[in-house]
């Protein structure tokens, strides 16, 4: 599964929760977390693993943060090979968290079985959903953080994206993207 979304959408938190649910069901889970590299120093924070503290201690999980090193599209130059290595290493589920910062970080969509776009309830209006790019590549759009005071904005943004996705060309004859 490939996951992308804007900063603050809760990608790492979602992956930790989902990953723990899978490992509790006896699946082996691999997480390939991609972090942006500085154009000045070339370094990366690689902080995603520290945000997944419970999953990082789980013996049925493997978390590998990697820097982009200037590669565009939200992944690294070797993400596809890393996915194959994880599958060959016996991992049942491979989760790829992209850099996820805009409309063009969807290269992972061609590497995975399902591409999920994670959005916060205050992630923009319907016009944002109509933009081509990342939204038309998503197999699933998940509105995250939809609790408490954010329930109403989450339902509104869900309705806006459902409406916007009706305007997009179908990529598959058998799967219609869900919100």
Q: What confidence tens digit (pLDDT) does each residue in 40-93 have?
A: 555 545 556 677 899 999 999 999 988 776 666 667 788 899 999 999 999 999
Distance CA 131, CA 117 (A): 14
pLDDT the model gives residue 44: 47
User: Which homologous superfamily is 2-167 in?
Assistant: P-loop containing nucleotide triphosphate hydrolases (3.40.50.300)
**Lowest-confidence pick of 11-25, 35-49, 63-77, 124-138:** 35-49
Tokens of 106: 């969807």
pLDDT-based confidence at residue 113 (cuts at 50, 70, 90): very high
Q: What is the pTM of this model?
A: 0.84
Chain position carrying tokens 């205050």 = 122
pLDDT the model gives residue 127: 47
Candidates 85, 97, 130; CA nearest to 14 is 97
Are residues 134 and 26 in contact, defined by beta-carbon separation less than 8 angstroms? no
């Amino acid at each position: 599964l490939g996951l992308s979304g804007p900063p603050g959408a809760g990608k790492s938190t979602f992956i930790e929760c989902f990953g723990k649910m899978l490992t509790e069901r006896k699946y082996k889970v691999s997480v390939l977390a991609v972090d942006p590299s500085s154009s000045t120093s070339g370094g990366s924070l690689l902080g995603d693993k520290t945000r997944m503290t419970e999953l990082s201690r789980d013996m049925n999980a493997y978390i590998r943060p990697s820097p982009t090193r200037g590669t565009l599209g939200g992944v690294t130059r070797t993400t596809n090979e890393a996915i194959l290595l994880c599958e060959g290493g016996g991992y049942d589920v491979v989760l790829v968290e992209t850099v996820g910062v805009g409309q063009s970080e969807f290269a992972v969509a061609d590497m995975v079985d399902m591409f999920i776009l994670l959005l916060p309830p205050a992630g923009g209006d319907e016009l944002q959903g109509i933009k081509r790019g990342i939204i038309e590549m998503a197999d699933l759009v998940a509105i995250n953080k939809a609790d408490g005071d954010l329930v109403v904005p989450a339902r509104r943004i869900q309705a806006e994206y459902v409406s916007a996705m009706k305007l997009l060309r179908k990529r598959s004859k058998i799967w219609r993207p869900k919100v």
